[in-house]
Amino acid sequence: MSGPASVTARLDGKIALVTGGAQGIGRAIADGLGREGATVVIADLNPPEGGIRADVSSEADVEAMVRETVDRHGGLDILVNNAGLYASLAMRPFTEIPPDEWRQVMDVNVASMFLTCRAVVPVMRGRGGGKIVNISSGTPFRGVPYLLHYVTSKGAIVAFTRALAKELGKDEIHVNCVAPGFTMSDGVMANPEVVEKLRDASVAARTLQRDQVPEDVVGAVVFLCGPGADFITGQTMVIDGGQYFH
């Protein structure tokens, strides 16, 4: 998919892959990249028309996803690792988290990024470079309780970003991270219990006291994928309305 390019068309001619891009933050990012001129491929468990169905915790699915993207468009320049588990998780003391759920969160939120990057990086190397943006969360910076597996997984993404950036710098592949605050995405709004527990407290803690929406994340991701970020790598941008100063 692609959208009407902006006047600047910062990403004209670029091929972008957005995981978990069917709705919420992922869809807003995909639309934003498209507006900047990129050709955008959405991968999701329930993809829109023209997207690719993929379970990002599956090595076979990830390899097929990247192969199909390259076959369709001839290459890949941008990867946004957005897919993850959050809103469907119950908030509870860590002693009550089932080990199987812990492992599932780590597979979907962390191992998936290892698999996608491993599949994408050889393609980017062949094109002389690329941009990878990993979607983390503001929760590990604030130490949010009762979601220990989720918070741990999102903290791991920050470490993953830093280490991979060091490894890929020589290849002109930039690896950065965006950490949104509590966002009123489709997935969150489909879980009223999560909204009830977190919405008001999140807004009250912000410097900019309003709901965060998926579109609030787009500008940072588009910037990190574009030429304005050509000397930026290994960084994490916390996008939460000033709840946390990083």
CA 158-161-166 angle, 5° bins: 135
Active site residue 150: yes
What count of other Cβ atoms lies within 10 Å of the Cβ of residue 142? Answer: 16
CB 33 within 8 A of CB 7: no
Strand bridging mode 236-239 / 15-19: unpaired
Q: Which of 86, 146, 150, 244 is catalytic?
A: 150
Non-local (6+) Cβ contacts of 176 within 8 A are 131, 132, 133, 134, 161, 165, 224, 229, 232, 233, 234, 235, 236, 237
Q: What's the DSSP call for residue 87?
A: T
- The counts of H helices and E strands in the chain are 9, 7
CA distance 25 to 113: 17
Find tokens 């379970």 and name the residue.
55
Could you give the residue numbers annotated as active site?
150
